[in-house]
């Protein structure tokens, strides 16, 4: 499980606990939040001059394992464990293209905000408290 997954699981659980009205409004605002994340990435890429890509690495680690024996004793023996981890690596980009992408995202965000506001009003009408 990645750190992002570990972070999102409690948020999803919290969202599931809300009232139908709150759940409806949260669902209406999801597209805006997704675009906001993309805008933040694009701005970071422009500021740095490069993008960051996640790469998964695998490492074999020699360690000591234990096994319970039938007679109640514990045996120790050398073994290997596989560790997986992710790291970010720089990736070259065209800053000009990234600026165009950012402008398009900002336009999409404006439309998404209008849609989210209309959907939220519909949620309020459908689920009065």
List the chain domain ranges: 1-49+94-129, 52-92
In the block, which residue shows the tokens 């139908």?
20
Interval 40-81: pLDDT, tens: 999 999 999 999 999 999 999 999 999 999 999 999 999 999
This model's pTM is above 0.75: no
Residues 30, 34: Cα–Cα separation, whole Å: 6
82 vs 58: CA distance, rounded Å: 7
Backbone phi, psi, residue 34, to 5°: -65, -45
Greatest CA separation for the chain: 71
Residue 127 · residue 60 · CB < 8 Å: no
77-112 per-position pLDDT tens digit: 999 999 999 999 999 999 999 999 999 999 999 999
């Amino acid at each position: 499980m990645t750190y992002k997954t570990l972070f999102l699981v409690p948020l999803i659980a919290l969202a599931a606990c809300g009232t139908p009205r709150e759940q409806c409004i949260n669902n209406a605002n999801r597209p805006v939040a997704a675009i906001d994340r993309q805008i933040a990435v694009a701005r970071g890429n422009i500021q740095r001059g490069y993008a960051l890509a996640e790469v998964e690495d695998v490492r074999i680690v020699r360690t000591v394992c234990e096994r319970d024996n039938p007679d109640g004793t514990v045996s120790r023996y050398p073994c290997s464990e596989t560790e997986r981890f992710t790291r970010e690596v720089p990736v070259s980009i065209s800053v000009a293209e990234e600026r165009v992408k950012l402008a398009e995202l900002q336009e999409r965000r404006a439309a998404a905000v209008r849609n989210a506001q209309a959907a939220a009003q519909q949620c309020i009408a459908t689920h009065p408290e």
